Amino acid sequence: MLNMAMVVTTTLVIFILCSQSVAILQKKLQLPSPVTGPESLAFDRNGGGPYVGSSDGRIFKYIGPNEGFKEYAFTSPNRNKTICDGLADFSAVQAKCGRPLGLSFNHQTGDLYVADAYYGLVKVSPDGANVTQLVGPAQANSTKFADGLDVDSDTGIVYFTEASTNFQLKDFQTLITSGDNSGSLLRYDPSTNQTTVLLSNLAVPSGVAVSKDGSFVLVSEYLSNRVQRVWLKGPRANSSELFMLLAGRPDNIKRNSRGQFWISVNSYLGPPGSPRRTMLPGGIKVTENGLILQIVSLGAEYGTQPASEIQEYNETLYSGSLLASYASIFTP
Ligand SMILES: *[C@@H]1O[C@H](CO)[C@@H](O)[C@H](O)[C@H]1NC(C)=O
Ligand SMILES: *[C@@H]1O[C@H](CO)[C@@H](O)[C@H](O)[C@H]1NC(C)=O
Ligand SMILES: *[C@@H]1O[C@H](CO)[C@@H](O)[C@H](O)[C@H]1NC(C)=O
Ligand SMILES: *[C@@H]1O[C@H](CO)[C@@H](O)[C@H](O)[C@H]1NC(C)=O
Ligand SMILES: *[C@@H]1O[C@H](CO)[C@@H](O)[C@H](O)[C@H]1NC(C)=O
Ligand SMILES: *[C@@H]1O[C@H](CO)[C@@H](O)[C@H](O)[C@H]1NC(C)=O
């Protein structure tokens, strides 16, 4: 009975507060062909960008409509341009070339922090030249598949996820049918160079975002269609709770300047197991209390590639995708 009452209340709240809409595609920001996979987007402290990672291990910066994307940095210390440039996703060679996924700037230092699927937590200096591997296979406790990332610019602390300790990105298809829950949420403190585990036994934690006041982080679990909240400060510090259950696969989470969160959620159309299931890419905007403010679907022009990220920046919606050859700009 209690559960039923809660469901009814939640449904009412959703209908009253949220507007459901199809976002209008304004522009596709095309990566240099044949590169794909701008999974996450970041903007620097001068409003430059977006910066995106790609399938061939390079990070590109969007300069403008005429110049498009220009190479900014790469994460692999021994990246061979001849072998790597133009590489497609999910290739075994990718482990040598690097695969930048989650991106976020520390706006105080100008450093770009990257969760690279194969190289772990990597820091790129403001000019893109100095690249330091901070946590990864070289360390005693390696990360096998780093994925989501966010930086608290007030403290410099970096939150990132390890999607799995059993599978790598190249085994993604196996991973998502495995029921794996070996993932974790980690915290890296640049002042001590220490990494600690905040939450473990997660079912492919794909995205992470820290709240505006730094009191909690949200972490999405792709395989269990939910978002958890981990308290960092206050009376509930060090505890976690369910933040939200979703009707689809959550991926990256990004906070906007007002402290609200965009969670990318991809739902499938068609019965489970059917070979022709299509993807319905979209996302939801929620308050710090988990109230849904807006639900958007990215619409037919976007295609049926999953949206790995939806980000609201400067009153504009951007989306990134693990598989598409472009990042997109929308009017919500
Ligand atoms: C924000 O958008 C406005 C209007 O589109 C534009 O003039 C301005 O340059 C943008 N600011 C940044 C930091 O991108
Ligand atoms: C890069 O790969 C190419 C093709 O395999 C090889 O000929 C070249 O020697 C490599 N370069 C370096 C610096 O290893
Ligand atoms: C990059 O590294 C070099 C050598 O360690 C150092 O001299 C230089 O100051 C660094 N640049 C930045 C922007 O960190
Ligand atoms: C932090 O850890 C990295 C990786 O182990 C190491 O290369 C670096 O020198 C360390 N920095 C400090 C300040 O301890
Ligand atoms: C590294 O291993 C130690 C000992 O097993 C453990 O206490 C610590 O939490 C681990 N750290 C990370 C970042 O996995
Ligand atoms: C949370 O954990 C940290 C580190 O273990 C500890 O210093 C702090 O007192 C804990 N806070 C609460 C409210 O339990």
Tell me the CA distances in angstroms from 153 to 107, 108, 190, one per residue in order: 6, 6, 12
C-alpha to C-alpha distance for 23 and 295, rounded to whole angstroms: 9
What one-letter code names the amino acid at 155? T
Q: Which domain holds residue 249?
A: 4-331
Identify the three-state secondary structure at position 14. helix
C-alpha to C-alpha distance for 308 and 320, rounded to whole angstroms: 6
The CB of 127 under 6 Å from ligand 3? The reply is: yes
pLDDT of 269 reads: 65
Q: pLDDT tens-digit profile of 290-329?
A: 999 999 988 777 777 889 999 999 999 999 999 899 999 9
CATH number, domain with residue 232: 2.120.10.30
The CB of 88 under 6 Å from ligand 5? The reply is: no
Q: If you measure from the C-alpha of residue 239 to the centroid of ligand 6, how many angstroms do you get, rounded to a whole number?
A: 10
The token duo for 78 is: 């021994």
Q: CA geometry: angle at 22 spanning 18 and 23, to 5°?
A: 100
Q: Are 292 and 313 in contact (CB under 8 A)?
A: no
Q: What percent of the chain stands above pLDDT 70? A: 89
C-alpha to C-alpha distance for 160 and 163, rounded to whole angstroms: 10
Beta bridge partners of 313: 316
Beta bridge partners of 68: 64
Mean pLDDT by runs of 10 across the 332 residues of the chain is 41 53 91 96 97 97 97 95 90 90 98 96 95 79 86 97 93 91 96 95 98 98 97 97 94 98 85 62 94 88 84 95 93 80
Residue 14 dihedral angles phi and psi, to the nearest 5° = -60, -45
C-alpha to C-alpha distance for 308 and 290, rounded to whole angstroms: 20
Domain count, the chain: 1
C-alpha to C-alpha distance for 166 and 302, rounded to whole angstroms: 33
Q: Which of 62, 314, 316 has most ligand 1 atoms within 8 Å of its beta carbon, as the pocket-test mutant?
A: 314
Pocket of ligand 1 (CB under 6 A): 47, 314
Sheet holding 24-30, edge to edge: 24-30, 326-331, 316-320, 309-313
C-alpha to C-alpha distance for 67 and 164, rounded to whole angstroms: 37
The CB of 80 under 6 Å from ligand 2? The reply is: yes
- Cα diameter, the chain: 63
Q: If you measure from the C-alpha of residue 239 to the centroid of ligand 5, how many angstroms do you get, rounded to a whole number?
A: 19
Atom 4 of ligand 1, nearest CA residue: 314
Q: Are 210 and 159 in contact (CB under 8 A)?
A: yes
Q: pLDDT tens-digit profile of 59-112?
A: 999 999 999 999 999 999 989 999 999 998 777 889 999 999 999 999 999 999
Q: If you measure from the C-alpha of residue 314 to the centroid of ligand 1, how many angstroms do you get, rounded to a whole number?
A: 6
Cα–chain center distance at 105: 13
Alpha helices in the chain (DSSP H): 2-17, 81-84, 94-97, 172-178
Q: Which of 189, 196, 215, 238 has most ligand 6 atoms within 8 Å of its beta carbon, as the pocket-test mutant?
A: 238
Which ligand approaches the C-alpha of residue 232 most closely? 6
pLDDT of 300 reads: 74
C-alpha to C-alpha distance for 247 and 221, rounded to whole angstroms: 12
What is the position in ligand 6's atom list of the atom closest to the CA of 238?
1
Which ligand approaches the C-alpha of residue 237 most closely? 6
Task: Supply the pTM of this predicted model.
Answer: 0.89
The CB of 125 under 6 Å from ligand 3? The reply is: yes
Pocket of ligand 6 (CB under 6 A): 237-238
